[in-house]
Amino acid sequence: MSRTTYREALRAALAEALERDPRVILMGEDVAAYGGAYAVSKGLAERFGRDRVRDTPLSEGGFVGAGIGAALGGLRPIVEIMTVNFSLLALDQIINNAATARHMSGGQLGVPVVIRMATGAGRQLAAQHSHSLEGYYAHVPGLRVVAPATLEDARGMLATALRSPDPVIIFEHVGLYNLEGELADDAGAVDLDRAAVRRPGRDVTLITSGGSLGKVLTAAEQLAARDVEAEVIDLRTLRPLDDATVMASVRRTRRAVVIDEGWRTGGFAGEVVARIAEQAFYELDAPVARVCSAEVPIPYPQHLEQAALPQVEGVVRAAMQAVGRG
């Protein structure tokens, strides 16, 4: 075991990928000379050269499209979009091109591109820099969407994503980059299929992913102090969803709360709730609840931003209500 951070785990995964396969390239804004907006790729350009770790212009549609083309042409590109907010400029490429090429070519073409981006709020970056739009991507057939929430997943998801014959989107929550902990020295590839039970419990299932996992685990501890044993599920992969793990838990606890930093209306949490309603309705003892962001663009001041986002207290409250003690 070694002490490491989420950022370092991501960097180790990138370095290993570049090391192992000459077809792998990393490109994006400020990944080389600047060292990455969140310092994830720091040192990689020096190590692998500017051809394989390539700075791009501010042209999200252009370089994401080029990543798709390079994947079609036989490379294994890792495209870094600085944040999900700017991925909107590349949404056309991702949804209209990457996600459709296999299908509309009748299975002849595949787009093995990996697109990484930072996501989420919490750093007082205001309305245009605080989006959580994972749900937009999880909506689209043809994409695989993952959200590493732990050091193991930060270290291991990339390698598996690069083996995927289809596009994979990796969401890295900005609040996680400094997450510190122990990681096995031989940590490596992990699956991109299964949700993980991060804490077992029998009274209520708390379902979440990415940047919200830490808050939900804290909530589970507070619940335990009040004799409520919450089971915490980290979805890990937002598309395709691992229904089996979710339903197995909900069938045992008979209660569920879904926690998602996206907005409530039309959001990703609603999809999880709908699946529970479809597949486990008769086993439920309480309405399934959601803890999501308030219906407001994220405001700059700290007190308003924090009030807009899912918080530990809100999760505890929803869970207590679900177990009939709210």
Partner 1 sequence: MTTPSSQQRLRDMMLVRRFEERCAELYGAGKIRGFLHLYIGEEAVAAGLLPALGPADTVVATYREHGHALLRGVPARAVMAEMFGRVSGCSRGRGGSMHLFDAERRMYGGWAIVAGHLPVAVGLALADRTLGRPQVTACFFGDGAVAEGAFHEAMNLAALWQLPVLFVCENNLYAMGTALERYQAQPDLVLRARGYGVDAASVDGMDVEVVAAAARDAVERVRAGKPFLLECRTYRFRAHSMFDAELYRGSDEVARWKQRDPIALLAGRLRTRGQLDDAALAALEQDVAREVEDAVSFADASALEPIEELTRHVMAEVAP
Ligand X SMILES: Cc1ncc(C[n+]2csc(CCOP(=O)(O)OP(=O)(O)O)c2C)c(N)n1
Contacts to partner 1 by CB under 8 A: 29-30, 33-35, 37, 39, 55-62, 85-86, 88-89, 123-129, 294-297, 299-304, 307-308
In the complex with ligand X, which residue's Cβ is closer, 118 or 190?
118
CB of 46 to partner 1, least distance (A): 10
**CB-based burial label for 70 (10 Å; 0-12, 13-18, 19+):** buried
Active site residue 172: no
Residue 51 φ/ψ, nearest 5 degrees: -80, -35
Span 18-47, contacts to ligand X by CB under 6 A: 29
* Nearest residue to 156 (alpha-carbon basis) of 127, 128, 136, 184: 184
Q: Is there binding between residue 80 and ligand X (CB under 6 A)?
A: no
CB of 88 to ligand X, least distance (A): 8
In the complex with partner 1, which residue's Cβ is closer, 60 or 271?
60
The binder of ligand X chosen from 15, 89, 159, 224 (CB under 6 A): 89
Binding span for ligand X by CB under 6 A among 81-89, 169-177, 241-249, 307-315: 81-89
Active site residue 303: no
Scan for tokens 């999809």, then name that residue.
271
In the complex with partner 1, which residue's Cβ is closer, 51 or 295?
295
In the complex with partner 1, which residue's Cβ is closer, 61 or 270?
61
Q: How many residues bind ligand X (CB under 6 A)?
A: 6
Neighbours of 86 (CB within 10 A): 18
Binding span for ligand X by CB under 6 A among 47-55, 82-90, 111-119, 140-148: 82-90
CB of 6 to ligand X, least distance (A): 21
In the complex with partner 1, which residue's Cβ is closer, 33 or 225?
33
Please, what is the Cα angle at 306 between 305 and 308, to 5 degrees? 65
Question: Which of 129, 134, 172, 261 is the catalytic position?
Answer: 129
* Nearest residue to 132 (alpha-carbon basis) of 251, 301, 309, 311: 309
Known catalytic residues are 60, 129
Interacting residues with ligand X (CB under 6 A): 29, 58, 60, 82, 86, 89
